[in-house]
Structure 1
Amino acid sequence: MTSPSIPRDKTFDYSAEMMEKRRAFLEAQRSVSLPHTGQTSFDPASLAGNIENAFGATQVPIGLAGPLTINGEHATGDFYVPLATTEGTLVASYSRGMGVLRAAGGVTTTVIERYMQRAPVFHFESARRARDFGQWLADNLDGVKKAANSTSSVGKLSHIEQYGVSKMRYLRMNFTTGDAAGQNMSGKAAQAACQWIIKNCGFTTRYTLSGAIDTDKKHSQINTLHSRGARVVAEVTLPADLVREKLRVETKDMYRARQVSTLGGMLAGTSNNGLHAANALAALFIATGQDAANVAESQAGLTYVELNDDGSLYWSITLPSLIVATYGGGTGLATQRECLEVLDCYGAGKALKFVEICAATVLAGELSLASAVVGGDWVESHDSLGRNRP
């Protein structure tokens, strides 16, 4: 028996009528009722380029955390942060951490670099030819850049890493991408660059557009070392009295717990020796129209702490592969754009500001959860606000 096809219309597929037809199709095929899925306020025409076969929307509740005080180079001042989640205690915990950061004078944020990668691999008849090609590529980088940059007014090829393996030359092309995340932009530019290389290099070779060392939508050690998306640091120094008053723990106990967690992270082979960066990033990504699958890369983190002689606690987290956008993709959809506007982060010239807000939010959550674990009230908070409720 052949299952019926999903209703489509090549001309008017992004319309309220087609969304209603697909809901009716599902209700008939699966004997379900979809009254909530169909309750949307956006114009279906705005979904073109973001989804296919649309029939409604999932409504994820959005909570407001803050104020979050940031002393950044791009984000400065107090921010109220929209977090889309169904996990009780999450917004309350982040608000608590933000209050501590505010009392400490704010969190300092620094963007180290920001690139998006595509990683073609070139194939040769021998390792020696692959090595010689690598030298040719270095000598002709200006021509490669010109070809790549011709595909976009925004994306620009910055530099190319090279890795020789067997009779292949793996490349990792690094692009600046303005306020877009830039995966598609980089892919188009990389293809143009590869075609120019094939035409001009004088080697007998072929290429595969992705040799997988760009590690799209998955964590990798190369991203931790060389960055993918933004590499950003959020840091703060917390006075001992403030930690005792606001978090009800001692800085020496917080410091000791960090050592234990870092050792445990090494034992487990984790990509983040912190606590739960993915919670902040997933909630922010969903609220603001980011590609949610990029949480797989973006949640990687390096936490570093110091217990100072005066008892104060220096705490930082480095996110080496934070992939976000303030323009393009899902950022222009109705509710997603509104949440970016709440942060004054929608549109051109806002990406680095949003990067700093993301990093600062992650740090707030790290401090709050760490103190809850050390202070022994982690389970109790879920009992009162979260999923442990009877």
Structure 2
Amino acid sequence: MSQTVTPIPTSWVGPLRLSGEVTGEQEVPLATYETPLWPSVGRSARVSRLVDDGIRVTIVDERMTRSSLFVARTAADAVAAGSALTARFDDLAAIVAAQSRFARLIDVHTEVVGNLLFVRFALTTGDASGHNMTTLAAETFIDHVLAWHPELEYGSISGNYCSDKKATAVNGILGRGRSAVAEILIPAAVVADQLRSSAQRIADLNVRKNLVGSTIAGALRSANAHYANMLLAFYLATGQDAANIVEASQGITYAEVRGEGDLYFSCTLPNLIVGTVGNGKDLPFVDEVLTRLGCREERSSGGNARRLAALIAATVLCGELSLLAAQTNHKELMASHLVLERKAGGRR
């Protein structure tokens, strides 16, 4: 098997002014072929520096999940086994703690379909995204569960109720990864001067495009313009598993007019699956980037990953705000793309 390195244009954008989980100003890296993303995110980063608190990010929750599948003879057997398992939470938690310095069991959720028993384990995993950590824990759980319940048979170590790299409702409801909310309150004059729009126009467009438009399209727990753009660029720059943008891009943009035309704008991202240790994080360029982001500091378990998640959420807000503001003005989006891509040497 031969390996090659694929170059991806990368630029540091900002700085963003931040408060909440992260305070101060921080530039962020975006690796993308969609180079107009850099000035677009940069425009809202400039807006954040004109606001006292900048972008405030709150980490709501953090966990990684794996759902194992067991096969019972009947639905009644599956329900009884599921109830018995949830009652043995302390035993399951002790199993996790004995095999890992960082993994801790925080939740067990069961679902029964016919004679199939799905058991969804949720763990905190320190600074790791936790894919392998939870899979190892699930593998150990399976051995114990089958010993405790000989009436069950092994189905699969992963039963898709996790749910990994798929757009599902369960992750938003029960949680998977870091859940973050980024928000900003922008004075009316700044909205007009920097975004060439108004709070009312942006709020109206958000309802009509992101909420109504996404609903008639059949979006699943998602109402945003383009979270995936910023997520992929940030994931590639920091050594993340890029396939996780499938669920990470499920999020909701919210906007409202406050006071005398000020704009409250927020992005809620319930499924940010990121880590600062683990596979890919030891690559020289990734280590350099994470160091520059302040994600190689001595912090409590999970602190560096929470910082990274907060920076990503703030970056998503910047890109989302800039795009929506541009789309309130007829022809601005395409005109901007043409100018920026021609400057970069693109041909159209």
Among 151, 155, 174, which residue is 2:122 paired with?
A: 174
Task: Tell me whether 1:372 sits opposite 2:326 in the alignment.
Answer: yes
Percentage identity across paired residues of the two chains: 35
1:36-63 deviations in Å (ceiling 9; x for gaps): xxxxxxxxxxxxxxxxx34331111111
Residue in structure 1 matched with residue 33 of structure 2 by the alignment: 86
Instruction: Report the secondary structure of 1:88's partner residue.
Output: coil
| Cα distance, 1:309 vs structure 2 | 4.0
The structure with the larger Rg is 1
Residues 70, 152 of structure 2: 8 Å contact kept: no
Amino acid at match of 1:218: K
Residue in structure 1 matched with residue 214 of structure 2 by the alignment: 265
Residue in structure 2 matched with residue 360 of structure 1 by the alignment: 314
Amino acid at match of 2:328: V
- Which structure 1 segments of 5+ residues have no match? 1-52
Please give the alpha-carbon distance, in whole angstroms, between the structure 2 residues aligned to 1:204 and 1:72. 47
Residues 82, 119 of structure 2: 8 Å contact kept: no
Residue in structure 2 matched with residue 121 of structure 1 by the alignment: 69
Among 184, 197, 203, which residue is 1:249 paired with?
A: 197
Please give the alpha-carbon distance, in whole angstroms, between the structure 1 residues aligned to 2:217 and 2:191. 29
Amino acid at match of 2:317: L
Question: For this pair of structures, how many residues does the alignment match?
Answer: 337
Amino acid at match of 1:76: T
Residue in structure 2 matched with residue 35 of structure 1 by the alignment: none
**TM-score scaled by structure 1?**
0.83
Residues 55, 183 of structure 2: 8 Å contact kept: yes
Residue in structure 2 matched with residue 66 of structure 1 by the alignment: 14
**TM-score scaled by structure 2?**
0.93
| Cα distance, 1:108 vs structure 2 | 0.7
Among 99, 103, 115, which residue is 2:50 paired with?
A: 103
1:318-355 deviations in Å (ceiling 9; x for gaps): 10110111111111101111111121113664110001
Query: Which deviates the most, 248-257 or 140-149?
Result: 140-149
Please give the alpha-carbon distance, in whole angstroms, between the structure 1 residues aligned to 2:9 and 2:3. 19
Measured on the aligned residues, the alpha-carbon RMSD in Å equals: 1.6
Residue in structure 2 matched with residue 50 of structure 1 by the alignment: none
Residues 71, 107 of structure 1: 8 Å contact kept: yes
Instruction: Report the secondary structure of 2:295's partner residue.
Output: coil
Equivalent positions of 1:1-390 (< 5 A) are 53-73=1-21, 75-105=22-52, 106-201=54-149, 203-261=151-209, 262-271=211-220, 272-346=222-296, 349-376=303-330, 377-386=332-341, 389-390=347-348
| Cα distance, 1:292 vs structure 2 | 1.1
Please give the alpha-carbon distance, in whole angstroms, between the structure 1 residues aligned to 2:165 and 2:225. 21
Change (3 A) 1:347 1:166: farther
Please give the alpha-carbon distance, in whole angstroms, between the structure 2 residues aligned to 1:200 and 1:103. 60
Instruction: Report the secondary structure of 1:170's partner residue.
Output: strand
Instruction: Report the secondary structure of 2:335's partner residue.
Output: helix
Instruction: Report the secondary structure of 2:280's partner residue.
Output: helix
Change (3 A) 1:150 1:207: farther
Change (3 A) 1:335 1:54: farther
Instruction: Report the secondary structure of 2:41's partner residue.
Output: helix
| Cα distance, 1:207 vs structure 2 | 3.9
Instruction: Report the secondary structure of 1:332's partner residue.
Output: coil
Instruction: Report the secondary structure of 2:158's partner residue.
Output: coil
Please give the alpha-carbon distance, in whole angstroms, between the structure 1 residues aligned to 2:75 and 2:120. 18
Please give the alpha-carbon distance, in whole angstroms, between the structure 1 residues aligned to 2:144 and 2:167. 30
